[in-house]
Amino acid sequence: MHEITTKPRRGRPPNASRDNQDTKAALIRSGLEQLTETGFAGSGIDLILKKVGVPKGSFYHYFASKEAFGQEVIANYAAYFMHQLDKCLADESVSEIHRLSLFVNKAKVGMTQYQFKRGCLIGNLGQEVDLLPDSYRQQLIDIFLSWQTRLAICLQAAQTQGDIHPNADCTLLAELFWVGWEGAVSRAKLIQSVKPLQDYYDFFMSGLLTQDK
């Protein structure tokens, strides 16, 4: 870091501290982009640093280790994803049974926007779990469980409204949705089309809506 020779203005944090936070955030964004597009095995720390303009020797000024860096990238992605999911599943302008469609539509827009180069970071890393540090495994499991919990709550609300059979296991349905969703995302990337996402959603919903009430 360059030496600061000017006196910080009253009421503002030192520039060095602000620069550190900005650089750290930029590294996380770069890591997120790299891991989402190429996965863990295809990503190198050198390219991530180069995109941000940070010397390799300065990396440990921002992160305790490469493993810690990866954990922060995963956490950052999970927080953003959770925020988007929560907005969709809590949207009171749409009935509970149809709120999942809001999430699916957002995913379709996002994959198209990035020309199908990016999928789901958590799903991608889950497929590479044997190559990951051991600490990532539980982190990924916890993230998947948080998604499942949120969707289960939404499905249970729809069940209360009579839109899902009262004997249906909403917790299991939520788990099965995410298991299948990751496969749909991978297929969408492969064929560069949102059709697998829509097809999977339609298939999942048909199983809910055709049950005898």
Number of domains in the chain: 1
Q: Could you tell me if residue 86 is inside a domain?
A: yes
Residues with Cβ within 8 Å of residue 32, at least 6 apart in sequence: 73, 76, 77, 121
For residue 29, tell me if it sits in a domain.
no
Residue-wise burial string across 41-76, b where 16 or more C-beta atoms lie within 10 A, e elsewhere? eebebeebbeebebeeeebeebbeeeeebbbbbbeb
Q: What is the pLDDT of residue 80?
A: 93
What CATH number does residue 102 fall under? 1.10.357.10
CB neighbour list of residue 52: distance below 8 Å, 6 or more residues apart: 23, 26, 27, 30
Q: Is the pLDDT of residue 82 over 50?
A: yes
Query: Is residue 121, in this structure, part of any structural domain at all?
Result: yes
Residue 181 lies in a domain: yes
Task: Give the mean pLDDT of 67-84.
Answer: 93
pTM beyond 0.75: the answer is yes
Q: Which domain holds residue 145?
A: 66-209
> Does residue 113 belong to any structural domain of this protein?
yes
Tell me if 23 is assigned to some domain: no
CA dihedral sign of residues 205, 210, 211, 212:
positive
pLDDT of residue 59: 86
Asked if 92 contacts 155 with a C-beta cutoff of 8 angstroms, the reply is: no
Q: Tell me the pLDDT tens digit for each residue of 121-164.
A: 898 888 888 888 899 999 999 999 999 999 999 999 999 999 99
Within a domain: residue 27?
A: no
Average pLDDT of the residues in 92-113: 96
Cα–Cα dist 106/108, whole Å = 5
196 within some domain: yes
C-alpha closest to that of 151 among 111, 130, 132, 179: 179
Q: Which residue has the higher pLDDT, 2 or 120?
A: 120
